[in-house]
Amino acid sequence: MSFDIIVIGDVVSELCLDAHSSGGSEDSYIVSTLQERIGGDALDIGMVCASGGLSCSLVSAIGIDASSVLDCLDRSKIDYSHLIVCDSKTGKKIKVIVDSASTDLTYEGASSHIFDYGIDKDFFSDSRLIHLTTFSPERYDAIQMEKRPHCTCQYSPGTDIGEYPEDIGVLFMESSDAMTLSGEDECCEAVEALVPICTCPTVVADRGRGAYVISDKSARSISMVPAVSYDASRFYSSFVGAFLSRYVKTNNLRSSASYGLSYQYFSYTDSCRVVGRDSLEIESVMRRIARMNV
């Protein structure tokens, strides 16, 4: 069976703790809010693509402690024939926020076993697009084949921009990573610094406020319409998923970025990574963005 998109990446348990000092010992804190969900970029992006009408398959690994994921995939009609259920615990991403300062903790867990059983080359070669939510030379090499579909991926913090092969169709990056890479304090200046060193088409997502498309050694900005000042960074996976759902159909970077921004806007306002809005409503905002950024 062929698919519009195969998403390869981590499915994790996400935990966010918001804490403040207890007023006693320096090392004693009280957790005021606790949010937990099964997610991860691969699951979020797959669900957004499936909601946009794409046939989607998820390649990942989970532990038996995350069996509820299968019900979620069934409801979204996402293929999981290449999802590994292993003895390790499901990976975890933990964000601890203490007095507005945050610390991120990662437990890889089952995610390290994604390719333990090898790669079915025929399965991958029949798809229209392969998306890697986490880049590493090992993962990229694993999907090399004589007739490989279009491949997109997300930038992995800490990696060198020069590591990304020229034949990647689109590299996605958050504005925070662009600024860290370039040493600049503003996203627009960071993008300008990245233009000469990007090895493949790159889309920089700026917190839901806009996006930059770097291609052919130049950059084009796309601003949200109307202009907004919110920070929708936590819905970055919604932007990527919506971008890909459009890109598979049009192969157009700017149109796809406009659609991604529109979807991310509704994700932010609805506080949901996979929105239940009518597609015409998302398309309407996308067209406004496109018209204002000609």
Each residue's pLDDT tens digit, 98-134? 877 788 888 888 888 887 767 777 888 888 999 999 9
Q: What is the pLDDT of residue 25?
A: 67
Give the chain's mean pLDDT: 90
Q: How far apart are CA 126 and CA 129, in angstroms?
A: 9
Each residue's pLDDT tens digit, 49-59? 999 999 999 99
Q: Which two tokens stand for residue 96?
A: 């601890």
Each residue's pLDDT tens digit, 47-94? 999 999 999 999 999 988 877 888 889 999 999 999 988 888 998 988
In the chain, where do the E strands start and end?
5-8, 12-21, 29-39, 56-63, 83-86, 91-98, 101-107, 129-132, 150-154, 170-174, 202-206, 210-215, 218-223
Poorest-pLDDT segment among 41-50, 93-102, 129-138, 149-158: 93-102
- Under a CB-based contact definition with an 8 Å cutoff, are residues 172 and 154 in contact? yes
Q: How far apart are CA 198 and CA 180, in angstroms?
A: 15
Poorest-pLDDT segment among 67-81, 134-148, 279-293: 134-148
> What share of the chain has pLDDT > 90, as a percent?
56
Q: What is the pLDDT of residue 288?
A: 93
For 234, the enclosing helix (H) or strand (E) is: none
Average pLDDT, stretch 37-49?
93
Domain coordinates of the chain in residue numbers?
A: 5-11+41-89+112-292
> What share of the chain has pLDDT > 70, as a percent?
98
Q: Which two tokens stand for residue 159?
A: 């990696």
Poorest-pLDDT segment among 100-104, 202-206, 277-281: 100-104
- Which among 151, 112, 158, 179 has a CA at the least distance from the CA of 247? 151
Q: What is the pLDDT of residue 267?
A: 96
- Give CATH for domain 5-11+41-89+112-292: 3.40.1190.20
Each residue's pLDDT tens digit, 217-233? 999 999 998 777 889 99
Asked whether the CA dihedral 240, 130, 155, 167 is positive or negative, the reply is negative
